[in-house]
Amino acid sequence: MAVDDVTLHKMAQRLRRDCLESTSAAGSGHPTSCMSAAELVSVLFFDEMRFDPRDPTGRDQDVFVLSKGHAAPVLWAALKEAGCIDDDLLGLRRFDSRLEGHPTPRVPWVRVATGSLGQGVCAGAGMAWARKLDRSEGRVFVLLGDGEAAEGSVWEAAEFASFYRLDNLCAIFDVNRLGQSGPTMYQHDLEPYLARLRGFGWEALAIDGHDLRAVKEAFARARATKGKPFGLVARTFKGKGVSFLENKDGWHGKAVKKGEELSKALAELGDTSVSVKVEPRRYPPSRPSGAGEPRVEPKYKLGQEVATREAYGAALATLARTAPQVVALDGDVKNSTFSEKFKEAAPDRFAEAYIAEQNMIGAALGMSTEGKIPFASTFACFLSRAYDFIRMAAYSRPSHLVLCGSHAGVSIGEDGPSQMALEDLAMMRAVLGSTVLYPSDAVSAERLVETAARTPGIVYIRTSRPKGKVIYDNGEAFPAGGSKTLRSSPRDRVTIVAAGVTVTEALEAHETLAKGGIAARVIDLYSVKPVDEATLRKAAEETRGIVTVEDHNVWGGIGDAVAAAVAGRTRMEVLGVREVPRSGKPEELMKAYGISADAIVEAAKHLA
């Protein structure tokens, strides 16, 4: 049911009042950034969007993403006034409140955490893509600021949304002219935003963001647009409605002081006594493809030479058949990551993200909020470009998000250091709640893909370029948090802990040491996080020292994981890359940088 303009105006003023009062009570926040968006939010929540205030799942409803996360108070106010939450708005930013300074999923209406700018449109594009896949009529609205439009990820998402014709996506640019430290790049010139959106293939419209009739008509046009995403570029004023705040520099991130200053601001807003009952409005039920038990079917022979990246692709293709909730994304390297095998098996569930890794991760996160299990693949080194997105994904607490980094380490060979990803294990271990998996052969690679598909949260799989011999039986299980002891005896004097390509080197070193009368235990630490502490501590107690060897730099990877687990119980030698590498053959590089079988033997002798 349509809401009249007088009521919507009062609601906009009410939202401004809520934001001023809550930030003043907190003593911090961004009230002026909220006030510029009040009419946009008022029309969205109380007139345009179809949703059920009792159901935050978003299923067969419109959903909202606040990309300009510092304006969280206006979101909390809209949710409270719409009857979605009953939290005390004056508890904003308190430790005992769900209403945090930037949106997080502690409030279930928040689908992804925001606040690191430029990410909301990426997530929104992923949601819209997933909704197209499920034939859901629900739309996705994203509110972003003009300041964050300087982020390249916004335009990565714009390309993606246009390419996939996501006409269920509406991005709203709150062009309020002022950033944190001064005016934004184009201030109130709306033309650059329109030109960019149209250049990327969007339908775009400029309006006065405080004109309720114009805002309503713009959203009606967005809903009627077919075949293109819609961009609404709204000219607004920061601090709108209060004379000493409106369009004034120096107020970003500052709350109005309690007392006379707050009273003066509230008085200028006038009558804000208004209530709008939001009736539940849904779309016809969609028909997602359903869910299945993720399972793989490795069929390898012992001794067969297969790269773990190839096995990863084979496992993805099997998941395409066994688990329809799995979708895949790739950064234009699908013929190297072998995710192309998933595309061959289920082309409608494959999204080519092209060379735009930030948007790839953001879109994958958005897909995860729609009940999908995204597998996003690229070269491991390029995931560092998207690390802020991965970090924010952790704060979004996704139900499931799998990342695969291939071509890791000096073992890639001739491509050289720019492609080698010597930091990714450290990077992914540092992500809160992450699981980090590193297969050594084709069987473990396939089984760990299955494990990843069954493990909630953010999971990272590290795959390798070189072919390696299959060492495990097809039926071997690889649970997260486990390890495999490949060689062991009561006479073991030293333990060698390896993962990935260095497992083969460790087994070769074991044979050489045995010939010299030194018994060595060999552990495949395929789960780098969580790590198998019990097995490692037992090895620390039963042998004279531990040698770790990894195709990664020596900081933050397997060596540090093992050292933390054994906590000083034994001596250690940590083998890994310690200097900037160069191009060469894989075997040359592994020897030159001290992670070959020969280096393991020398380190083991030193300890034994």
Give the pLDDT of residue 2.
84
Mean pLDDT of 210-236: 98
Residue 433 and residue 490 share a domain: no
Q: Does residue 286 lie in a domain region?
A: no
Q: Is residue 478 part of a domain?
A: no
Judge contact between 283 and 50, C-beta under 8 A. yes
Residues 355, 459, single domain; the answer is yes
Read off the pLDDT band of 60 (50, 70, 90): very high
C-alpha 558/C-alpha 574 separation (Å) is 9
Long-range contacts of 245-252 (CB under 8 A, 24+ apart): 245/31, 245/32, 245/35, 247/177, 247/178, 249/178, 249/182, 249/183, 251/32, 252/30, 252/32, 252/33, 252/178, 252/179, 252/180, 252/181
Each residue's pLDDT tens digit, 457-492: 999 999 999 999 999 999 999 999 999 999 999 999
Same domain, 457 and 501: no
Residue 513 has what pLDDT? 97
Whether residue 331 is predicted with pLDDT greater than 70 in this model: the reply is yes
The pLDDT of residue 1 is 58
300, part of any domain: no
38 lies in the same domain as 175: yes
Cα torsion angle, 512, 514, 519, 521, sign: positive
**Tell me, what's the pLDDT at 263?**
97
Per-residue pLDDT, averaged over 65-90, amounts to: 98
Q: Which residues are catalytic?
A: 357
Cβ 566 vs Cβ 423: under 8 Å: no
Q: How many domains does the chain have?
A: 3
In angstroms, what is the C-alpha Rg of the chain? 27
pLDDT digits (tens, 9 = 90+) for 293-324: 999 999 999 999 999 999 999 999 999 999 99
Residues 260 and 320 reside in one and the same domain: no
Q: Which token pair is 256? A: 């109005």
- Does 297 fall in a domain? no
Give the domain CATH number at 58. Answer: 3.40.50.970
Q: According to the model, what pLDDT value does residue 79 have?
A: 98
Average pLDDT, the chain: 97
pLDDT at position 290, please? 85
58 band by pLDDT with thresholds 50, 70 and 90: very high
**What is the reported pTM?**
0.97
For residues 104 and 244, state if they share a domain. yes
Interval 237-261: pLDDT, tens: 999 999 999 999 999 999 999 999 9
Domain at 548, CATH number: 3.40.50.920
Number of C-alpha atoms within 13 angstroms, CB side, residue 219?
A: 26
Q: What is the pLDDT of residues 552-606, one digit of tens each?
A: 999 999 999 999 999 999 999 999 999 999 999 999 999 999 999 999 999 999 9
Q: pLDDT per residue over 8-47, tens digit each? A: 999 999 999 999 999 999 999 999 999 999 999 999 999 9
- Give the domain extent around 543: 484-607
